[in-house]
Structure 1
Amino acid sequence: MQRLCWAAFLLVAFPLAANGQATDEAPANNQPSSKAGQGETPATDFQNTASQFLGKFCLDCHDSTDPEGDVRLDNLDVDLSVTETADSWNRIFNQVQFGEMPPEDETQPSADQRATFLRQLDHELTLHGRGFELDKKLLLPQFGNYIDHGKLFDGSVTEKPYSPARLWRQRPIIYDAIWGNAYGRAPWYSVKIGGTGNHLIARGPHKGKLMATRYFQDQKYANPFFEFVHHASGFTDYASIVADQSSLEALLVNAETMAQILTVGQKVRIVTQVKNKGSRTGNNEAMFVGGVTTTANEYRGRVPVIFNYIVKSAQPVTRDDFDQALDVAFALFLRRSPKQEEYEHYWRNVFQKNAELGNEMALQAVLIYVTLTPEFVYRMELGLGETDADGRRFLSPQELVYSLHYALHNKPAFGVDEIETIDVYTKQSEAPIQRTMTTPRPAWAAGHSALVKEMLAGKLKTRDDVERVVRQMLDARQNGWVTTHNRTYLSTTNPRILQFFREFFGYYKADEVFKDIDEFKKRDGFQQFVQGSASKLAYDTDSLILHILQEDKDVLKQLLTTNKVVSVYWNGKNDEQQVKRAGGAEKYRRTHPVQSYNLDPYEHAYDKDNHSDPQIRKNGQVFRAPAEQRCGILTQPSWLIAHSGNFDNDPVRRGKWIREKLLAGVVMDLPINVDAQIPDNEHQTLRERFQVVHESACWRCHKKMNPLGMPFEAYNHVGKWRATEQGQPVDASGSITLSHDDSLHQDVQNVLELMEALAESDLVRQSFIRHVFRYWMGRNEMLSDSQTLMAMDKAYVESGGSFKELLVALMTSDSFLYRK
């Protein structure tokens, strides 16, 4: 089994290095020579340098004398053009990368030694077409913790921070916000004549009859972008996610629809029913169903006057008219004016080449062309400002608008300046229908954001300007801290902040984990969990986080240790009708949603005069649970459910989350040839069934996860605290080991000890800050971001744990403001 496990580890391929950049401390003779870059380094040179590393750290276990796992490293070939040889070196790369080799009880290479060896090996593999392009892959979401954590925060890196110039694919939700209302819905009207409507027909065959209209919208577009979430990141908006072929195809279809709407109007279907003797009384606006039905299609809407003029003109379009139309097209889609060369390009290469198809088709071709340019599909962060002495370029004012606005919002930053428009129709409908169909202000004519107004006034150019507007945005009046299905995180002030915590903790996925609610009706400790409970518990956690952010003190510590819980769907009162509908007082108690937090609705009924806690007196939906039962977001039922299986807890998944999110660690993915099954035994606890992973074949990875996840066995798999399992006292002990901080290592007896230890750790705080950086920067850290990360850490600590100050430090940092 030991040999099989070692072989399985070697088979896993993770093409990435431990360090994002070469360091100044690396010995010069360990750097690839200039000849190496040209593919001329003899294999013997590589053999000499590689053998030094292997000889010092690996050959004690893997030489010809009883090699561990039958893996010998003393006789490796260095001809990397041979597939088998390259594969062997690739497996060595992965083991060193993951810290699996050398083993923890052997002499370990320093971070620089490890990084230098991996870079040199990658260089040699690249010469033979088998390398990893490390610097690029280090920016991908699944490789977030591979840079040495210590070097990011110890001050040894003095390079000035920047971000690589990039195109950042449009966020799906922002595309919806731009497209959905303006171009993406096909409306239709239901018209009923002769019922109990509120419009009197003034002319025609139905003069004197009442008419009722109802308006419907059907989504008629496909969002071309997808929401990619890598399990190791959890974040949905990385700049490395590109628009693929399917995205471009959907963009083209949408662009054709958009071009038609802006030139000839939106096609509207009107379904008319006239009441007759066969009509029946119905529960609808006109109070009848059936009758004589007719269907008509009309074009309607407001289109730019210049577009309408070009479409209707029978004469060749003049250059002046075309330039005016292109101004409108750029304003609508790119939120800027065309450059001189763009006027020429679109006139000669697009409009004129399609002119033989008619003015309408030629103009639509121009609109389609504009909407398929990278500038419409991507956010451009090239750094169009001044270049400094280090070759870094400051973001231009327009780039700053996009970066800052999209950091906190999920809606367009730019509106459209007033454009002269005209209503278009293809038929003359009844006057009430025409009044309903009139669109005095198109959806795309929304106003500019406050940031755009600052930019237009010339007040968004410097770092001081950025800090001023960021503070204004963060100080915006909050519109409450309770979220529900009617008021989700998207409705909150600066919604991207709560979205960060949803994606960081991942508790919003609770609704995606199947739970057998029919079976729960028979089981104590589960009867409170019904259809919709998972979603409601996630709203509880949303609200708790907003409550903590509102106070903005020791935010991370509060998130990890608070015993407050929020129940947004209970106001603290036991309404008699609710009790009756539940089936009586006892059933009401057992099935009440606050039972998920081990609270009794009768014992915790809200009475503001009897609460000693002033915060709870003020907020009737906030309660305090016993400290030993609830300790932070990781003991919220929503988090426990999201990180559980369908029918049981999952200490592996929970421990892996802590290892990666709070301890800046890495755990190898499960090899494809390993069947990770825990035996079923209804007479054993889950901890007892997990004893199988303590075999050395499995424990190499599980030791990084299980000791961190086992304390959560104090809860069942729908998040309710329990004292016993299978008739035995719950063993919730665990330990913190194998982290970057030896002082953190300790045994813990329960989840309270675990969370309090983590909450006091500098490593945990810094790991959290790294995730804040990734979410708002859309990429992983590079070593050159060290100064930014340290400034963020300093701002957070010195402000007493203010999340606002943490964001200010990030958004005014060189990493945020400069491109290179």
Structure 2
Amino acid sequence: MKPIQVAVAFLAWSLIVGMALGETPTDQGETPAVLSTFIDTYCIDCHRGDDPEGGLGLDALDFNLSDPETARRWIGVHDRVSGGEMPPPEETQPAGERSTAFLAALSSRLMEAESDRRDVVLRRLNRHEYQNTVRDLFHTAVTINGLPEDSSTDGFDTVGEGLAVSAEAMAAYLDAADQVLDAVFGSEQPPQQIRHETNLLDQVDWRGRPQLDNQIGKMFRRTEDGLVIFQSGYCPTNLVNFARLRAPAGTYRGTLRVRAVQSDQPVTLRIYGGDTIVNRGERHLVGYYDVPPGRWTTIQFTDRLVEAGGTFQPKCYGTRDTRKDADTWSEPGIEIGDIVIEGPLESWPPPGRIHLLGELDLQTADQDDARTIIGRLLPRAFRRPVQSSEADAYVNLFASAVAAGRSFESALRVSLKAILCSPDFLFRNEPGASQISPHALATRLSYFLCSTMPDDELTGLAIDGSLRRPDVLRQQVERLLDSPRSSAFTKNFTGQWLDLRDIDFTEPDANLYPEFDELLRISMVQETEMFFDEILRENLSLVNFVDSDFTFLNGRLARHYGIDGVDGQAFRKVSLPPDGLRGGLLTHASVLKVTANGTYTSPVLRGVWILENILGQPTSPPPDNVGSVEPDIRGATTIREQLAKHRDIPSCAACHRQIDPPGFVLECFDPIGGYRDRYRTMSTEGQRPGIKQAPFTYAWVRYRIGLPVDATAQMDDGRSIDDIREFKKVLAAAPDQLARNLTVKLMTYALGRKVGFSDRATVDQIVRQTRQHDYGFRSLIHAIVQHPAFQKP
């Protein structure tokens, strides 16, 4: 079968599936009489016309509950009546039985409509799951390029509704299958092995001439053992010129003898890999390393070069550059002595090839051998038992390719490519009437906690039927959470729940925040991921997410937070002072950065983020005719003053009473998560800060000190909040609300569907069970997995 035939066949299948998975619209009828009578009697006077109370016009609201926005509005009506907010106390109140009948009728219709919309039973593997799955299926490391970005639904890219397959995506999967198989089979001959022992003094350019001679005494200082580098910015030197060596892509080990000079403290070395000079190819950070002063030490790193001909480049960090007087420069630097670069470290033949083929002689292999390989691979690829007839289809592909003159290996690749492009591989089928199959349960659990296919132990438990037992499920949850593979859960869940994936979405204004740099950005994310890991590993209370007495810091982040006693690049658990501002996610620089842009903070953006991500209280979109608040970047007015005018608009006031207070209490933190009591401005007037150059980056400071920050707030219920410390206590006092929100987020991520109105009883049950275990995070994971909803289709 030609690749285009595979593509056409799968595209046709995906279109059929798309039709099968499409929403079944409910009839767009009029509002049922039992509801309209109640609305007309108790609600319509305030909720009609061009300017209805709270922006909710019930006179214009239809009852097409197949429309998510319409359903959301009717759920809001249900909750306000149920909570006693509507009708308001000063209005005529309905008798108890009338409210009960209204709520029962509306609840029934909402759940029926939600059931009609919830027909998605197949989920495509998202990009991260695909990458991990092919790694574990073939026991080979491969970086997949070219797969399109996945859509996010209700905040997660695991929801089946958003994981459609287009013709463009199918072409990408065909190419991805080739990338996988190239890595599995490897080259016909072992790659060139390199062990390059050198010194920066020995480096030559592509013409064979000394590479750095013209910079000795300017940028670099020659010593008996090598070179001293001072550069933290521009740095033209590479540890080794792989383009000249024609080194293949692969994993390399680097060993450097280094020592810090002209410093009584460690100096930081950073190393980059890939295309480090021209920057036309792949380039990445290898790592940051502490180099102690005085004595020689050895730094060793292991890194994968994705493209052939890459190299490694050293730079100082946090030092001032010299470009003209290195011999007399008196500030800290790093002396680099002998260097050894060796690799590729991957064994040959590749482990994936050995795992797939074993000791098979490809010169004498025949169709029976192909059948054996395919029969062994299919159950793991499809994550379920397979019938012999299913294997026959792929064996026939192999036979057709052989008949067309292909070799055994080439013909086998045709079958394997078809498997990797099969719906049974790309989609997670979860069949069942009241319960999904044991193999689907193993798959759901594994992708929930590890973002990859079930391992042999999970598969074995599915085969013998014991996985459904509560004690076995509990043991497997513990095992998976304790395994290194659970790091994918931390990265993928926090990346979406807390928007950490957006850490690079904005670049802070270099004039306003000259101290921001790469290491700070990396450290921000690492703090939050390690904090999440600790709460999960130790089964700490969910309350720690909003108010904790510890965090994880390295020297760079501790300096940013103004916390003493933490030095070096290694992260460690740090106890926070009881009267300090830090503690909990809302004070993490990562969260504070992704809830701001690079220039200013917005209490609206941060307030909406807290309501949706921490409290589980999504806000209504603003009216179409209301413009956004444009902050005064010249610093003449504060954002609080501008929002006060915005709240004077009646259609905005109701929502802003909820949104603004949480955002205001975070105004003491700037767009990169630093504490502030005054704003920064680029106005030509105002007080200059007390420093001329920013720490770490040594960039010139150009901003001025602006107006004072007011981080007080008045909550919607009238409570006054003086600062973030009081607000954290308010949040911590409502652990059920925190647990309910996180339950919904985790269920959405795990089940691959929206968690809606009809799931409320399930969520309440899980929260009650978690409460009995002191709101432990690990206990919450167990409660979700043990609940019958986790095993429903």
- Output the TM-score relative to the length of structure 1: 0.60
Q: Deviation per CA, 1:76-118, whole angstroms, max 9, x where unpaired?
A: 899x9xxxxx99x999877545559999674699697368459
Give the 5 Å matches for 1:170-319. Answer: 170-179=125-134, 221-222=144-145, 224=147, 226-230=149-153, 233-245=154-166, 246-256=168-178, 266=187, 280=208, 302=353
On the 8 A contact 2:34/2:102 being kept in 1, the answer is no
Structure 2 residue 388 is the aligned partner of structure 1 residue 340 = yes
Aligned match for 1:594, one of 534, 558, 566: 558
Q: Structure 2 vs 1, CA of residues 620 and 176 (structure 1 numbering), >3 Å: closer, same or farther?
A: closer
Distance 1:225 1:339, change over 3 A: farther
The aligned residue for residue 590 of structure 2 is 638
Give the direction of change, closer, same or farther, for the CA distance of 1:38–1:651 in structure 2 (3 Å limit).
closer
Report the counterpart of residue 544 of structure 1 in structure 2.
531
Q: Confirm or deny: 8 A CA contact 1:651 1:706 kept in the other structure.
A: yes
Indicate if the aligned counterparts of 1:655 and 1:709 stay in contact, CA closer than 8 A: yes
The residue that corresponds to 1:684 in the other structure is 637
Structure 2: distance between partners of 1:68 and 1:178: 52
What is residue 647 of structure 2 aligned with on the other side? 694
| Cα 1:685/1:267, change in 2 over 3 Å | farther
* Deviation string, structure 1 residues 460-492 (Cα, Å, up to 9, x no partner): 352332123223444x38xxxxxxxxxxxxx67
Amino acid at match of 1:655: G
- Taking the aligned partners of 2:240 and 2:709, their CA distance within structure 1 comes to 60
**How far apart in 2 are the matches of 1:91 and 1:179?**
38
Alignment of 1:382 onto 2:467 = no
Distance 1:683 1:248, change over 3 A: same
Assess if the C-alpha contact under 8 Å between 2:586 and 2:592 holds in 1.
Answer: yes
1:165–1:382 Cα contact (<8 Å) kept: no
What corresponds to 2:790 in structure 1? 816
1:715–1:459 distance in 2 versus 1, CA, 3 Å: same
Distance 1:622 1:661 in 2: 25
- RCO higher in 1 or 2 (8 Å CA, sep ≥ 6)? 1
Pairs within 5 Å for 1:20-35 = none
Partners of 1:251 and 1:373 in 2: how far apart?
10
Alpha-carbon distance in structure 2 between the residues aligned to 1:660 and 1:711: 16
SS at match of 2:503: helix
Query: Does the 8 Å CA contact 1:409/1:494 hold for their aligned counterparts?
Result: yes
Mapped contact 2:383–2:443 kept (Cα < 8 A): no
**Corresponding residue number in structure 2 for 1:168:** 123
Percent of residue pairs bearing the same amino acid type: 19
2:737, 2:424 → 1: CA distance? 40
Report the 3-state secondary structure (helix = DSSP H, G, I; strand = E; otherwise coil) of the residue aligned with 1:704. helix
The correspondence of residues 138-149 of structure 1 with structure 2, limited to 5 A, is none
Distance of 1:773 and 1:72 partners within structure 2? 30
Over the aligned positions, Cα root-mean-square deviation in angstroms equals 4.9
Aligned equivalents of 2:245, 2:476: Cα separation in 1: 58
Residue aligned with 2:161, SS: coil
Q: How does 1:377-526 map to 2 (within 5 A)?
A: 377-383=426-432, 392-396=434-438, 398-414=439-455, 448=456, 450-455=457-462, 459-474=466-481, 476=482, 494-497=487-490, 499-507=492-500, 509-521=502-514
Query: How big is the shift at 1:705?
Result: 0.6
Question: SS where residue 37 of structure 2 aligns?
Answer: helix
Alignment-mate amino acid for residue 558 of structure 2: V
**Aligned counterparts, 1:726-741, within 5 A:** 730-737=709-716
> Once the two structures are superposed, what CA deviation does each residue of 1:408-441 show, in whole Å capped at 9, x if it has no partner?
2134434xxxxxxxxxxxxxxxxxxxxxxxxxxx
Deviation at 1:756, TM superposition (A): 0.7
Q: Which residue of 2 aligns with 1:715?
A: 669
Q: 2: distance between equivalents of 1:693 and 1:813?
A: 45
Assess if the C-alpha contact under 8 Å between 1:327 and 1:337 holds in 2. Answer: no
Superposition deviation, residue 171 in structure 1: 3.4
Q: Give the C-alpha shift of residue 669 in structure 1.
A: 2.1
Query: 1:113-163 deviations in whole A, cap 9, x for unaligned?
Result: 36845986999xxxxxxxxx64465x6xxxxxxxxxxxxxxxxxxxxxxxx
Q: What residue is the counterpart of 1:756 in the other structure? A: 729
CA contact (8 A) 1:401 1:413 kept: yes
Query: 2:282 aligns to what?
Result: none
Would you say the 8 A contact 1:563–1:624 is kept in 2?
A: yes
| Counterpart Cα distance in 1 of 2:751 and 2:243 | 57
Q: Provide, for residues 220-253 of structure 1, a one-character-per-residue CA deviation record: whole Å limited to 9, x for no partner.
A: x5353634335xx433322333241122221223
Instruction: Say if 1:606 and 1:470 are closer, same or farther in 2 by CA, change over 3 A.
Output: same
Work out the CA distance in 2 between the residues paired with 1:38 and 1:238. Answer: 25
- Residue type at the aligned position of 1:746: R
Deviations 1:151-190 (A, max 9, x none): xxxxxxxxxxxxx7822221322322344698899xxxxx
SS at match of 1:520: coil
Looking at structure 2, the residues matched to 512 and 666 of structure 1 have their Cα atoms a distance apart, in angstroms, of 22
CA deviation map 1:614-643 (0-9, x unaligned): xxxx99651424635224210222211211
Secondary structure, counterpart of 2:636 in structure 1: coil
Helix, strand or coil at the partner of 2:658: coil
* Range 505-514 or range 533-542, more displaced: 505-514
> Which residue of 606, 613, 636 maps to 1:654?
606
In 1, Cα distance between equivalents of 2:654 and 2:390: 60
**Take 1:311 and 1:371, find their aligned partners in 2: how far apart are those partners?**
25
Q: Distance in 2 between matches of 1:672 and 1:597?
A: 40
Per-residue CA distance 1:748-792 (angstroms, 9 max, x = gap): 232222221111113333223322322232323355545543342
> Is the aligned partner of 1:766 residue 2:740?
yes
Aligned-residue offset at 1:342? 2.2
Whichever residue aligns with residue 102 of structure 2, its letter is: Q
Structure 1 stretches lacking a partner, 5+ long:
1-35, 81-85, 124-132, 140-163, 186-216, 384-390, 415-447, 478-490, 522-526, 571-591, 608-617, 738-743
- Alpha-carbon distance in structure 1 between the residues aligned to 2:26 and 2:753: 28
Q: Is the 8 A contact 2:136 2:453 kept in 1?
A: no
- Structure 2: runs of 5 or more not aligned: 1-24, 195-205, 211-237, 247-307, 309-347, 680-704
Give distance in 2, aligned partners of 1:660 and 1:747.
22
Aligned equivalents of 2:111, 2:770: Cα separation in 1: 37
* CA distance in 2: counterparts of 1:662 and 1:241, whole angstroms: 23
What amino acid does structure 2 have at the position aligned with 1:176? Q
State TM-score, norm by structure 2.
0.61
Secondary structure of the structure 2 residue equivalent to 1:705 = helix
